[in-house]
Every structure is written in structure tokens, then in C-alpha cells.
């Protein structure tokens, strides 16, 4: 079986500079998933035209909109760029410009021009699960997201908060601490 080699990370988008180029259907989809998971993301959107949906969402979250065609100066100080224009040449150019500057780039829906893929995301309070099918089936990533949203108990966050409190009371060495935490969480996986 071929394995998924991608390495998942959890980015602090409220501390990184993110750029989305293009504000049509795809730009909206990427912006809305991003803000759903990271409502304080430091993101700006550059496009020649903005859909009404993008305008409304940007207004709600205080996301700046730059009404202009893409030029390389918008890459200045960016950490992550998502290209979502409907012009494949422009998307390719954005990818090349970003790579030249060591900026991570995602060209929406063009896997070969991506340094990273966006994934399905499940959030329950402090708990977050990211899902990838290695680009094979975004629809399955969506379905798995829906499945986990349903089966992960809503009180998981309470449990995590309690464990966090208990963890901070343990003043032992690392090994004993791990042993205790493993012990009291054992039933969580044996239950079902």
C-alpha cells in the first residue's frame, strides 16, 4: 500500500502573514475554511474582482481586500500564499515567484504546484484533527471530516481541560508524569 508522506503541522495563522490571490468561488472556499478554523488569521486577499460572498466574509473578519491584479510586490513579508485565480498562467507565476522567495505556496486545485495541501479539519474546542487523502480524494477528506465531527464527543474539550489541570499538578520527573497520565487516560480508548 502506498503511504501518505506528507507531514502535518498546525500553523499559528494569527501570527503569520498569509496571502490569497483570487476572490471567486475557489478563493472564497479557501478563505472561509481558513477563517472557520483560524478566525484571527492574518490574511489579506488580492484580486481584480471580489465576489459578494468574499466581501461579506472579509468585512466580518476584518480581512483587508486589495483590488488590483497580482504583482510580485504583494508577496513582500508573506509566509504562505494561496493562488486561486481563474488564470492558470497567473497561478503558475505566483507559484514560481513564491518558490523563488522561499514562501510556501498552495495553488488551489493544482497539486503539482503545491508545497502543501489544505486538509479537512475537525475542531472540538482545543482538539483539532487534520485530514489528508494525499490529494487523492478531497471529497473523502470532507466525508471523513463530517464523520469525525459526529463521532468525537462534544465533551472531549472538558476532558482535555481537566487533563491539562491535572498535568500541571504533577511535579514528578518526566517518566512518572507520563505513566500517571497514561494510566488515567487508558479507559478512553478501551471504552468503545
Ligand X SMILES: C[C@@]1(CC(=O)O)c2cc3[nH]c(cc4nc(cc5[nH]c(cc(n2)[C@H]1CCC(=O)O)[C@@](C)(CC(=O)O)[C@@H]5CCC(=O)O)C(CC(=O)O)=C4CCC(=O)O)c(CCC(=O)O)c3CC(=O)O
Q: List residues binding ligand X (CB under 6 A).
A: 29-30, 33, 106, 108-109, 111, 114, 117-120, 132-135, 138-139, 141-142, 145
Cα angle 14-18-23, degrees, rounded to a multiple of 5: 120
Strand residues in the chain grouped as ranges (E): 18-23, 43-50, 65-67, 80-83, 104-107, 120-124, 127-131
Q: At what angle do helices 25-37 and 52-61 cross, to 10 degrees?
A: 20
Q: From ligand NAI, ligand X, none, which one binds at residue 118 (CB under 5 to 8 Å depending on kind)?
A: ligand X
Interacting residues of 36 by C-beta distance below 8 A, sequence separation 6+: 121
Question: Using the 8-state DSSP alphabet, how is residue 75 labeled?
Answer: G
Among 7, 9, 49, 153, binds ligand NAI (CB under 6 A): 49
Instruction: Tell the smallest beta-carbon distance from residue 164 to ligand X (Å).
Output: 27
Please list the residues that pair with 128 across neighbouring strands: 123
Q: From ligand X, ligand NAI, none, which one binds at residue 23 (CB under 5 to 8 Å depending on kind)?
A: ligand NAI
Handedness of CA 34, 39, 42, 46 (dihedral sign): positive
Q: Which of residues 19-48 bind ligand NAI (CB under 6 A)?
A: 21-27, 46-48
- Pick the stretch among 15-23, 36-44, 74-82, 146-154 that binds ligand NAI (CB under 6 A): 15-23
Nearer to ligand NAI, 61 or 92 (CB): 92
Q: Does 53 bind ligand NAI (CB under 6 A)?
A: no
Among 84, 95, 114, 122, binds ligand NAI (CB under 6 A): 84
Q: Does 150 bind ligand NAI (CB under 6 A)?
A: no
Instruction: Provide the grid cell at 101.
Output: 522567495
Instruction: Tell the smallest beta-carbon distance from residue 89 to ligand NAI (Å).
Output: 9
Q: At what angle do helices 174-190 and 156-169 cross, to 10 degrees?
A: 160
Q: From ligand NAI, ligand X, none, which one binds at residue 76 (CB under 5 to 8 Å depending on kind)?
A: none
Amino acid at each position: 500500500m502506498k503511504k501518505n508522506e506528507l507531514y502535518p503541522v498546525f500553523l499559528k495563522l494569527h501570527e503569520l502573514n498569509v496571502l490569497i490571490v483570487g476572490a471567486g468561488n475557489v478563493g472564497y472556499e479557501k478563505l472561509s475554511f481558513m477563517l472557520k478554523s483560524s478566525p484571527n488569521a492574518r490574511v489579506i486577499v488580492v484580486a481584480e474582482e471580489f465576489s459578494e460572498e468574499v466581501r461579506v466574509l472579509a468585512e466580518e473578519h476584518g480581512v483587508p481586500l486589495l483590488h488590483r491584479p497580482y504583482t510580485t510586490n504583494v508577496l513582500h513579508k508573506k509566509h504562505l500564499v494561496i493562488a486561486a485565480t481563474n488564470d492558470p498562467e497567473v497561478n503558475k507565476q505566483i507559484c514560481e515567484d513564491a518558490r523563488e522567495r522561499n514562501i510556501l505556496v498552495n495553488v488551489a486545485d493544482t497539486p503539482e504546484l503545491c508545497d502543501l495541501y489544505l486538509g479537512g479539519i475537525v475542531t472540538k474546542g482545543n482538539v483539532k484533527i487534520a485530514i489528508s487523502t494525499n490529494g487523492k480524494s478531497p471529497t473523502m477528506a470532507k466525508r471523513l471530516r463530517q464523520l469525525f465531527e459526529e463521532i468525537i464527543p462534544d465533551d472531549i474539550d472538558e476532558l482535555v481541560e481537566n487533563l491539562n489541570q491535572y498535568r500541571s499538578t504533577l511535579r514528578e520527573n518526566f517518566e512518572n508524569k507520563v505513566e500517571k497520565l497514561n494510566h488515567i487516560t487508558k479507559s478512553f480508548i478501551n471504552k468503545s
